[in-house]
Structure 1
Amino acid sequence: MLKHLSQLPLFLHMVAISGLMMFLPALMASLQHDDFVARMFFYSGTLVIFLSTLVAMAISGTRPAPRTIDHLLALFCAFTVLPLVLAMPFFEALETTSFVNAYFEMVSCLTTTGATVFSQAERLPPALHFWRGIVGWMGGLMMWLAASAVFAPLSLGGFEVTARGEPGKLDMTGGQMQRAAPMKRWIKGAKLLVPVYAGLTLAIWMLLMIFGDKPLSGLMHAMSTMATSGISSVDGIQNGGAGLAGEGVIFLFLLFALSRMTFSVDTGAVRRESLILDPEFRLGLLLVALVPTILFLRHWVGAIDVNESSDALAALRAAWGGMFTVLSFLTTTGFESAEWHVARDWSGLSSPGLMLMGLALVGGGVATTAGGVKLLRVFALYLQGLGEMERLVHPSVVIGNRGGGTGRIRRRGALIAWVFFMLFAISIAAVTVLLTALGSDFEQAMVLAIATLTTTGPITQVAAEVPINLLVLSGWEKLVLCGAMVLGRMETLAIIALLSPDFWHK
């Protein structure tokens, strides 16, 4: 039975799983006596499972064994077509929105972007908030599994910086995980990572409720932390009941988005004897320490001018607010600390939105749920720059391997990292131009482009002078943003790989 199911297309599995997940908000709405919402989710889930079963019966035994490129295409369909299925119960249950808004919401959740057209949380029933959280959580889990099942074997998603093979080409020189059949990689990855992912989510939820968060908001924040989606049912963790203790819990678990080595080494990435030697984790910790320090000194100088520098408690609160918010935006989660605005009140200076956009552009670790350029690519560019500076002093110097695979990163990975960085910059420019052509002003278009391409939706509420109301955007603008979110989640090199003719020969 399991062997028969494993031969079905991956996308069909994803559709069927989404149908099963619809019964969870249906059960929640039923327990809250919201019978209409419960029926919409129950009917939608039943319909999706029924149609998936019919398709599975129709194509059973008629398709050849899937290739890894087929699973890359399935991922693309998951981020573009699957939200149409996910939006169906959302649209039917809410009734007061358009299907384009529902589709935008589901794309945003599934890509772990977290941008929402519903700026007021009370507009949505609890079951719809729960559905948004589930979709975001499943999107994060899908990226965890895809890292080892698709991106690592094809040397994409950041693995191209350290892989021996060419980006987009199947690397058969890797470990056992890379040489296994495509569906076996998904099954093995699920067995290894689903318990870890679910267990960590449960741990965060329990701790947040212990510290005073309500069950629904605590669960939403727990799922958003693991998926780095920033989705909340109360407009942010600052409105939750867990307080600073809850922020401390989320801070610790956000560290999982700085490096794959915090939870798994199954992808064949650069290995280290310990986590502290991992370049991504070290670079992430450096930014989390350095940027808040600069912010703190800036605000401290401002506090001197207003004679508030002696307020030690406000200084500590400002320092914590900066550290938490920096880590949150670096991992492209987008949660704001409740103390983030204390720094502004303490010194009278505003907090720079440009800095938050810069952190989101850097992004988190390779093969995690974080978006952005990724820390490993930044590290590769740093090594290349270091080598070029050494050549300025000694033009004939031969730079050897510094250990830990850094020589390979500098010689070959830096070029690929630079190519990706340029493609990322071109994508930002293209999305900005499209949005301005559709009616947005330049500042708003730039913020929206960075927010979607880095999958950091909350940037739209903090980076511009005034929060951007996504609801008033036209339908075409929302569709452009949907495309940008998919591009940011899949990454440009993966999209180019799908367009390459070399991948479509049998």
Structure 2
Amino acid sequence: MVDFRPIAYVFGRILIVLAILMLAPAIVDWSAGDRNAQAFVVSALVSGGIGGAIAMATQNGMGGAFDIRQAYLLTAVIWFGVPGFGALPFMLGAPGLHFTEAYFEAVSGITTTGATVIYGLDTLPAGMNLWRGLLNGAGGLGIAFVAMIFLPVMRVGGMQFFRTEGFDTFGKALPRATDIAQQLLGVYLGLIVVAGLTFSAIGMTALDATVHAIAAIATGGFSPRDASFNPYAGAGEYFGALFMFLGSLPYVRYVQLVNGDSRPLWQDSQIRAYVKVLGLSVGTVTLWQWWTSDMAFEAVFRESLFNLTSIMSSTGFFSGSFPVWGGYMLVVAFLIGVIGACSGSSAAGLTVFRAQLVWAALVQQVRRIILPGRVAPVKYDGRTVEPDVMDALILYVGGYVLTLGVLTVAMTLTGVDITSSLFAVWTALGNIGYGFGPLVERTGTFVDFPDAAKWIMTLAMLMGRLGLLAIFVLVLPRFWQR
């Protein structure tokens, strides 16, 4: 029998933290004399009151460590439940969304997807745009903890490989979980501060610099501008690409770096592969667009660098002619969006780590065909990959592709055209943020999608963030019979 009290207690504490965060945009709007502040105050009282009541009622259940079923349930409860409270300001204040759209927006923020149903961001109260950025920031930090602590234990999609020697380095450098949390928080906030100061230095307003900095490091993609980074073309695109890239690297490497060991960061096979794939993509798309358009080379390179970094890091900012990309450029964008960035970061997609293992397994099978008598295990970075890791990996990758197809077909049944459906599921499942197709072209948002399609996207965002297997396991009867 699962003891739900520890799960409820942690959820209650998180709601209290969420309520405290709501006070920041309330103060911003109150200082500007905007009545939208009331929406945040009421939302904070509701969230904090319910969270406090839950925490007090279940605090006697805290004792031992979480078992595997509680770990699965806790992650699901957090990612499904917190957006329900994070959606309150969107309903009670500007822009006055109904529940489906408000929950969509909150899920998109907390899962760091960056897809939006709000058109007219430039006219929203400053506090509301700050709230969207804070949702990105809170989600990115939460994902960092899940990626570093929970996913390896949960054995989701081959992530147990990160518990083996060489990746699970906390035992020597950081003996206590609280040390990990404190240093991770310091690194995360430090990167946001540096990004914010940089964006301010190149001419962004205080609000734009703050929200863009939070969203870039969290790879969240929420912008206070309908035009995203277009108002800051030039230096904004170069620095934006830099901070999106930094936000999509494994957080464990930053923790090791602040502890005085920089070697893992430079020697990480996953990071090197990420740089190679991203560099190849930017290079080929730059040459293709330069050859087929009349744009200057530097402008083409800058636009390709920014937008492809945004896609592969699963952020969601855009600039230049990106919304009307097609042909080869769109194919490359689709493929690197499926791959995603590094495991152990707030980025999503299959992740470079899994793509590397799939490639290694493919190479091994080709060699077996050529040399049937040769026995060679799959290796990653010189280390043998155990069969249980490969089994989980193949199941995850197969499930990802199957889910992409099934949800795309399901969305077409709601009346959405096939192009918009495919890229909507692609952007939601990969937590990428920006879509293509006729229904997106008018506003650059998903506001024109029917409610049923928005719920499909909402489910896809949560599945992509949690890891497909973490969702599928919860619906299996056998999981509850253990």
Distance 1:202 1:162, change over 3 A: closer
Range with greater deviation from structure 2 (284-293 or 371-380): 284-293
Query: Which residue pairs with 1:424 in the alignment?
Result: 400
Deviation string 1:234-254 (CA, Å, 9 cap, x unpaired) is: 12543344x422322222222
User: Following the alignment from structure 2 to structure 1, what is the Cα–Cα distance between the partners of residues 441 and 53?
Assistant: 51
8 Å Cα contact 2:12-2:53 kept in structure 1: no
User: Following the alignment from structure 1 to structure 2, what is the Cα–Cα distance between the partners of residues 399 and 328?
Assistant: 37
Query: Which residue pairs with 2:356 in the alignment?
Result: 379
Deviation string 1:302-353 (CA, Å, 9 cap, x unpaired) is: 35xxxx6xx8xx1122123212222221111122244869x98xxxx87732
8 Å Cα contact 1:325-1:335 kept in structure 2: yes
8 Å Cα contact 2:193-2:213 kept in structure 1: yes
User: Following the alignment from structure 1 to structure 2, what is the Cα–Cα distance between the partners of residues 6 and 274?
Assistant: 35
User: Following the alignment from structure 2 to structure 1, what is the Cα–Cα distance between the partners of residues 327 and 399?
Assistant: 32
User: Following the alignment from structure 2 to structure 1, what is the Cα–Cα distance between the partners of residues 157 and 147?
Assistant: 8
1:328 corresponds to 2:316 = no
Query: Which residue pairs with 2:90 in the alignment?
Result: 90
Query: Which residue pairs with 1:124 in the alignment?
Result: 124
* AA of the residue aligned to 2:11: F
User: Following the alignment from structure 2 to structure 1, what is the Cα–Cα distance between the partners of residues 299 and 221?
Assistant: 22
Three-state SS of the structure 1 residue aligned to 2:87 is: helix
8 Å Cα contact 1:366-1:376 kept in structure 2: yes
User: Following the alignment from structure 2 to structure 1, what is the Cα–Cα distance between the partners of residues 106 and 133?
Assistant: 10
* AA of the residue aligned to 1:201: I
Q: Which of residues 345, 353, 370 is equivalent to 1:368?
A: 345
1:103 corresponds to 2:80 = no
After TM superposition, the score normalised by the length of structure 1 is: 0.84
8 Å Cα contact 2:377-2:385 kept in structure 1: no
Q: Which of residues 204, 208, 232 is equivalent to 2:223?
A: 232
User: Following the alignment from structure 1 to structure 2, what is the Cα–Cα distance between the partners of residues 177 and 7?
Assistant: 26
8 Å Cα contact 1:288-1:326 kept in structure 2: yes
Distance 1:412 1:457, change over 3 A: same
How far did 1:215 drift?
0.6
User: Following the alignment from structure 1 to structure 2, what is the Cα–Cα distance between the partners of residues 286 and 463?
Assistant: 34
| Number of residue pairs the alignment of both structures matches | 471
Range with greater deviation from structure 2 (417-426 or 64-73): 64-73
Query: Which residue pairs with 2:180 in the alignment?
Result: 189
Structure 2 residue ranges without an equivalent (≥5): none
State, as a whole percentage, how many aligned pairs show the same letter.
22
Distance 1:301 1:14, change over 3 A: same
1:250 corresponds to 2:240 = yes
User: Following the alignment from structure 2 to structure 1, what is the Cα–Cα distance between the partners of residues 321 and 182?
Assistant: 39
What RMSD in Å do the two structures reach over aligned CA positions?
3.3
**1:41-120 mapped onto 2 (5 Å cutoff):** 41-62=40-61, 65=64, 66-94=66-94, 96-120=96-120
User: Following the alignment from structure 2 to structure 1, what is the Cα–Cα distance between the partners of residues 319 and 224?
Assistant: 16
After TM superposition, the score normalised by the length of structure 2 is: 0.87
**1:257-276 mapped onto 2 (5 Å cutoff):** 257-264=248-255, 273-276=263-266
Larger radius of gyration: 1
How far did 1:70 drift?
1.8
Distance 1:62 1:225, change over 3 A: closer
Deviation string 1:220-264 (CA, Å, 9 cap, x unpaired) is: 1101111111110012543344x4223222222223314345423
Range with greater deviation from structure 2 (467-476 or 190-199): 467-476
User: Following the alignment from structure 1 to structure 2, what is the Cα–Cα distance between the partners of residues 367 and 191?
Assistant: 17
User: Following the alignment from structure 1 to structure 2, what is the Cα–Cα distance between the partners of residues 217 and 158?
Assistant: 38
8 Å Cα contact 2:361-2:378 kept in structure 1: no
Deviation string 1:26-57 (CA, Å, 9 cap, x unpaired) is: 000011111x2112211221232233223322
8 Å Cα contact 1:149-1:189 kept in structure 2: no
1:436 corresponds to 2:427 = no
Deviation string 1:398-452 (CA, Å, 9 cap, x unpaired) is: 436867444326x654443222111001111121122111211222111111111
8 Å Cα contact 1:461-1:468 kept in structure 2: no
User: Following the alignment from structure 2 to structure 1, what is the Cα–Cα distance between the partners of residues 367 and 462?
Assistant: 39
How far did 1:132 drift?
0.7
Query: Which residue pairs with 1:388 in the alignment?
Result: 365
